[in-house]
Structure 1
Amino acid sequence: MPVAVVTDSTSYLPFGVAEDRGIRIVPLEVRLGERVGREGVDVDAAALRVALADRRLDVQTSRPTPAEFAACYRTALDAGADGVVSVHLSRELSGTWDAARVAAEEVGADRVRVVDSRAAGMGLGYAVLAAADAAVAGSDGAAVEAAAADVAARCRMFFSVDTLDRLRRGGRIGTAAALFGTALAVKPLLHVAQGKIVPLEKVRTTARAAQRLVELAVKAAGDGPVDLAVHHLGAAGRAEDVAARLRERLDVARLLVSEVGAVIGAHVGTGLLAVVVVPKG
Structure 2
Amino acid sequence: MNKDKVAFLVDSGSNVPEEYVELGNMNVIPLKIIYKDEEFIDNVNITAQDVYDRLSEEIPTTSLPSGEVISDIFKKIQDDGFKKVICVTISSGLSGTNNMVRVISESFTDMDILTIDSKNIGIGSGLIAVQAYKYLEAGLDWETIKMKLQEDVLKSKMFFHVPTLEYLQKGGRIGLVASILGNMLNLKPIITCNDEGVYHTVAKIRGSKKSVQKAIDLAVDFAGTAKKYNLAIAYGGKTAKNQVNEIRSVLKEKLPLFDTIFEGEVSPALGVHTGPGLIGIGIIVTES
Cα distance change on mapping 1:279 and 1:16 into 2, 3 Å: closer
- Aligned-residue RMSD, C-alpha: 2.2
**2:6, 2:25 within 8 Å by CA — same for their partners in 1?**
no
Partners of 1:225 and 1:140 in 2: CA distance: 22
Partners of 1:149 and 1:230 in 2: CA distance: 23
Instruction: Identify which range, 125-134 or 22-31, moves more after superposition.
Output: 125-134
Give 1:248's aligned amino acid.
E
Alignment of 1:36-185 (within 5 A): 36-52=39-55, 55-108=56-109, 111-136=112-137, 142-174=143-175, 178=179, 181-185=182-186
Q: Secondary structure at the match of 1:40?
A: coil
Q: Secondary structure at the match of 1:220?
A: helix
Q: 1:217 aligns with which of 216, 219, 234?
A: 219
**2:83, 2:110 within 8 Å by CA — same for their partners in 1?**
no
**1:85, 1:144 within 8 Å by CA — same for their partners in 2?**
no
Tell me the TM-score normalised to structure 2 length. Answer: 0.88
**2:7, 2:85 within 8 Å by CA — same for their partners in 1?**
yes
Quote the sequence identity (%).
27
Look up the match of 2:231. Answer: 228
Tell me the TM-score normalised to structure 1 length. Answer: 0.90
Q: 1:31 aligns with which of 9, 29, 34?
A: 34
Q: 1:13 aligns with which of 4, 11, 16?
A: 16
Q: 1:241 aligns with which of 231, 234, 246?
A: 246
Partners of 2:142 and 2:171 in 1: CA distance: 34
Cα distance change on mapping 1:104 and 1:177 into 2, 3 Å: farther
Partners of 1:267 and 1:76 in 2: CA distance: 31
Give 2:40's aligned amino acid.
G
Alignment of 1:178-197 (within 5 A): 178=179, 181-194=182-195, 195-197=197-199
What is the CA distance between 1:185 and its match in structure 2? Answer: 1.6
**1:64, 1:99 within 8 Å by CA — same for their partners in 2?**
no
Instruction: Identify which range, 165-174 or 213-222, moves more after superposition.
Output: 165-174
Give 1:252's aligned amino acid.
F
Instruction: Identify which range, 161-170 or 5-14, moves more after superposition.
Output: 161-170
Give 2:81's aligned amino acid.
G
- Unmatched 5+ stretches in structure 1: none
Instruction: Identify which range, 38-47 or 110-119, moves more after superposition.
Output: 110-119
What is the CA distance between 1:133 and its match in structure 2? Answer: 3.0
Give 1:24's aligned amino acid.
N
The structure, 1 or 2, with the larger RCO (C-alpha pairs under 8 Å, 6+ apart) is 2
What is the CA distance between 1:263 and its match in structure 2? Answer: 0.5
Partners of 1:89 and 1:72 in 2: CA distance: 18
What is the CA distance between 1:182 and its match in structure 2? Answer: 4.2
Number of positions where the alignment pairs a residue of Structure 1 with one of Structure 2: 279
Instruction: Identify which range, 165-174 or 235-244, moves more after superposition.
Output: 165-174
What is the CA distance between 1:138 and its match in structure 2? Answer: 5.8
Cα distance change on mapping 1:218 and 1:136 into 2, 3 Å: closer
- Unmatched 5+ stretches in structure 2: none
Deviations 1:71-113 (A, max 9, x none): 1112112211112221100001111111112211233396322
